Amino acid sequence: MKSSCSIYLICPSPVFNLQEVPEFDSFDKQNSSNLYSALILNHKENFVYFKDKHVKIVYCFNEKDKDFIPSELADNSEIQISNCNEKNSAFKMLSEKYFTSYNKNLLIFSSSIGFTPAELDKVFDLLSMDDETIVLGKCGNDNIGFIGFNTYIPEFFSNINFDNLDYNSLLAEVNKHDNFVHVMGDYMVIKSLDDFKKLYTELSKKESWAYCNQDMHEQFTHLFIEYKDILK
């Protein structure tokens, strides 16, 4: 059965290659990698929800990670590698290989967290409209966690600064085109120490179990213990 839905996890910076991983604030490279990896693996755990729904899952990694992708992601996963030196390379590649083949496409940025699998399912419901529709996953720091769309508009994507997904700028760009826009949630993108502190607070709430299971809680907890002094 061919699916009409596809999810793409976008990882623009190296995550697994320790020589190339960008350091997260005051973290060393190993713990920076551990944080980025935990966020990616958390998405992977949530994608299990779509296993029986015939939703295509594609991981898009930075080219510098090509030889360092762990087996738990490399095995039985569809992986694409992008050239980080070419502006919006990942999106050009995805548009050529996938976007026009699926009715409903969902781009998820790997540093995001906070939305449940059921909420992602709701994105696909919103994209089931006959009209051109875009769904934005808004984060509390005026960033973007995901973009869903049912019609690929090259002009829209080519004008987006994917190095800085500012919600207000993106919304202004969306409104230049004739489509319905839905905005969901108050999610998180982990880019700064303040974001990390917020993640610590949010994962202490029972509601977080809906998007972060016990195994993933434990992975994040190791980081919280390592950097407990900055969480005070």
Backbone angles phi, psi at 161, to 5 degrees: -90, 95
Q: Which CATH superfamily is domain 5-192 in?
A: Spore Coat Polysaccharide Biosynthesis Protein SpsA; Chain A (3.90.550.10)
**What tens digit of pLDDT does each residue of 43-101 get?**
999 999 998 888 999 999 999 999 999 998 987 789 999 876 565 677 788 888 999 89
176: confidence class by pLDDT, cuts 50, 70, 90: confident
Please report the pLDDT score of residue 1 as a whole number. 41
Residue from 26, 25, 37, 13 nearest 45 by CA = 37
Q: Choose the most confident range, by mean pLDDT, from 67-81, 139-153, 174-188, 214-228.
A: 214-228
* Sheet strands side by side (includes 104-109): 78-82, 56-62, 5-11, 104-109, 144-149, 133-139, 180-189, 112-113
Residues 112 and 216: their CA atoms lie apart, in Å, by: 14
What helix, strand, coil percent values describe the chain, rounded to 5?
45, 20, 35
| Domain map (residue ranges) of the chain | 5-192
- Residue 47 in 3-state DSSP? helix
pTM for the full model?
A: 0.94
**What tens digit of pLDDT does each residue of 131-148 get?**
999 999 999 889 999 999
